[in-house]
Amino acid sequence: MKNTFEDLVETFAVLRGPNGCPWDKKQTHETLIKNLREESEELIVAIEKKDPENMKEELGDVLLQVLLHAQIAKEEGLFTIEDVIQGLYDKLHRRHPHVFGDIKAASAEEALAVWKEMKKKEKGH
Protein backbone atom coordinates (compact mmCIF):
# COMPACT_ATOMS: atom_id res chain seq x y z
CA MET A 1 0.00 0.00 0.00
CA LYS A 2 1.30 3.45 -0.91
CA ASN A 3 1.44 6.23 1.62
CA THR A 4 -0.91 9.19 1.24
CA PHE A 5 -0.33 12.92 1.30
CA GLU A 6 -1.88 12.93 4.77
CA ASP A 7 0.73 10.38 5.91
CA LEU A 8 3.44 12.73 4.70
CA VAL A 9 1.90 15.73 6.46
CA GLU A 10 1.73 13.69 9.69
CA THR A 11 5.40 12.73 9.25
CA PHE A 12 6.36 16.40 9.48
CA ALA A 13 4.27 16.84 12.62
CA VAL A 14 6.14 13.89 14.17
CA LEU A 15 9.55 15.16 13.01
CA ARG A 16 8.89 18.48 14.75
CA GLY A 17 7.04 16.97 17.70
CA PRO A 18 8.32 16.32 21.24
CA ASN A 19 10.10 13.08 20.27
CA GLY A 20 11.06 14.30 16.82
CA CYS A 21 14.33 15.17 15.13
CA PRO A 22 16.42 17.86 16.85
CA TRP A 23 17.44 19.35 13.49
CA ASP A 24 13.87 19.56 12.19
CA LYS A 25 12.60 21.02 15.47
CA LYS A 26 15.26 23.76 15.35
CA GLN A 27 14.32 25.03 11.88
CA THR A 28 12.52 28.29 11.15
CA HIS A 29 11.28 29.84 7.92
CA GLU A 30 14.47 31.90 7.85
CA THR A 31 16.89 29.01 8.47
CA LEU A 32 15.28 27.06 5.63
CA ILE A 33 15.75 29.72 2.94
CA LYS A 34 19.16 28.34 1.92
CA ASN A 35 17.74 24.82 1.64
CA LEU A 36 14.81 25.97 -0.48
CA ARG A 37 17.15 27.77 -2.86
CA GLU A 38 19.45 24.74 -3.12
CA GLU A 39 16.64 22.26 -3.69
CA SER A 40 15.00 24.49 -6.29
CA GLU A 41 18.32 24.84 -8.13
CA GLU A 42 18.89 21.06 -8.02
CA LEU A 43 15.45 20.54 -9.55
CA ILE A 44 16.26 23.03 -12.30
CA VAL A 45 19.49 21.14 -13.09
CA ALA A 46 17.60 17.82 -13.27
CA ILE A 47 15.06 19.38 -15.65
CA GLU A 48 17.79 20.85 -17.84
CA LYS A 49 19.56 17.46 -17.95
CA LYS A 50 16.25 15.78 -18.83
CA ASP A 51 16.83 13.34 -15.96
CA PRO A 52 13.39 12.09 -14.83
CA GLU A 53 14.69 9.95 -11.94
CA ASN A 54 16.63 12.83 -10.44
CA MET A 55 13.75 15.18 -11.22
CA LYS A 56 11.40 12.94 -9.22
CA GLU A 57 13.80 13.02 -6.26
CA GLU A 58 14.31 16.78 -6.45
CA LEU A 59 10.56 17.42 -6.70
CA GLY A 60 10.30 15.45 -3.47
CA ASP A 61 12.97 17.66 -1.90
CA VAL A 62 11.10 20.81 -2.96
CA LEU A 63 7.88 19.32 -1.57
CA LEU A 64 9.75 18.61 1.67
CA GLN A 65 10.49 22.31 1.91
CA VAL A 66 6.84 23.23 1.30
CA LEU A 67 5.59 20.79 3.93
CA LEU A 68 8.20 21.81 6.50
CA HIS A 69 7.36 25.50 6.06
CA ALA A 70 3.64 24.68 6.33
CA GLN A 71 4.22 22.68 9.53
CA ILE A 72 6.18 25.55 11.07
CA ALA A 73 3.40 27.98 10.08
CA LYS A 74 0.79 25.67 11.62
CA GLU A 75 2.74 25.57 14.87
CA GLU A 76 2.90 29.38 14.82
CA GLY A 77 -0.85 29.61 14.22
CA LEU A 78 -0.36 31.29 10.84
CA PHE A 79 -1.80 28.78 8.35
CA THR A 80 -1.89 25.07 7.51
CA ILE A 81 -0.99 22.99 4.47
CA GLU A 82 -4.74 22.73 3.86
CA ASP A 83 -4.86 26.53 3.67
CA VAL A 84 -2.01 26.47 1.14
CA ILE A 85 -3.84 23.86 -0.94
CA GLN A 86 -7.12 25.81 -0.79
CA GLY A 87 -5.36 29.03 -1.78
CA LEU A 88 -3.72 27.34 -4.75
CA TYR A 89 -6.97 25.67 -5.80
CA ASP A 90 -8.81 28.99 -5.65
CA LYS A 91 -6.06 30.80 -7.57
CA LEU A 92 -5.97 28.18 -10.32
CA HIS A 93 -9.73 28.38 -10.77
CA ARG A 94 -9.78 32.21 -10.72
CA ARG A 95 -6.94 32.50 -13.20
CA HIS A 96 -8.28 29.88 -15.60
CA PRO A 97 -11.71 31.25 -16.52
CA HIS A 98 -11.00 29.92 -20.01
CA VAL A 99 -11.14 26.42 -18.47
CA PHE A 100 -13.47 26.78 -15.48
CA GLY A 101 -15.57 29.71 -16.75
CA ASP A 102 -16.98 31.12 -19.96
CA ILE A 103 -13.93 32.91 -21.39
CA LYS A 104 -12.27 31.39 -24.46
CA ALA A 105 -8.54 30.91 -25.08
CA ALA A 106 -7.60 29.16 -28.30
CA SER A 107 -3.83 29.19 -27.81
CA ALA A 108 -1.18 29.08 -25.10
CA GLU A 109 -0.55 32.79 -25.73
CA GLU A 110 -4.23 33.64 -25.21
CA ALA A 111 -4.33 31.51 -22.04
CA LEU A 112 -1.26 33.32 -20.67
CA ALA A 113 -2.87 36.68 -21.49
CA VAL A 114 -6.00 35.64 -19.56
CA TRP A 115 -3.83 34.51 -16.60
CA LYS A 116 -2.00 37.83 -16.58
CA GLU A 117 -5.24 39.82 -16.81
CA MET A 118 -6.81 37.88 -13.93
CA LYS A 119 -3.65 38.34 -11.85
CA LYS A 120 -3.69 42.07 -12.57
CA LYS A 121 -7.33 42.29 -11.44
CA GLU A 122 -6.53 40.36 -8.25
CA LYS A 123 -3.64 42.66 -7.40
CA GLY A 124 -5.85 45.71 -7.97
CA HIS A 125 -3.91 47.17 -10.90
Per-residue pLDDT tens digits for 51-71: 999 999 999 999 999 999 999
Per-residue pLDDT tens digits for 9-62: 999 999 999 999 999 999 999 999 999 999 999 999 999 999 999 999 999 999
Q: Long-range contacts: 48-52, Cβ < 8 Å, 24+?
A: none
CA angle centred on 54, ends 51 and 56, rounded to 5°? 105
Given a contact cutoff of 8 angstroms between Cβ atoms, the answer to whether 40 and 62 are in contact is yes
pLDDT surpassing 90 at residue 114: yes
Q: Which CATH number fits domain 5-78: 3.30.360.10, 3.40.50.2300, 3.40.190.10, 1.10.287.1080?
A: 1.10.287.1080
| Domain boundaries of the chain, sorted by first residue | 5-78
The model's pTM: 0.90
> What span, in angstroms and rounded, lies between the C-alpha atoms of 97 and 36?
31
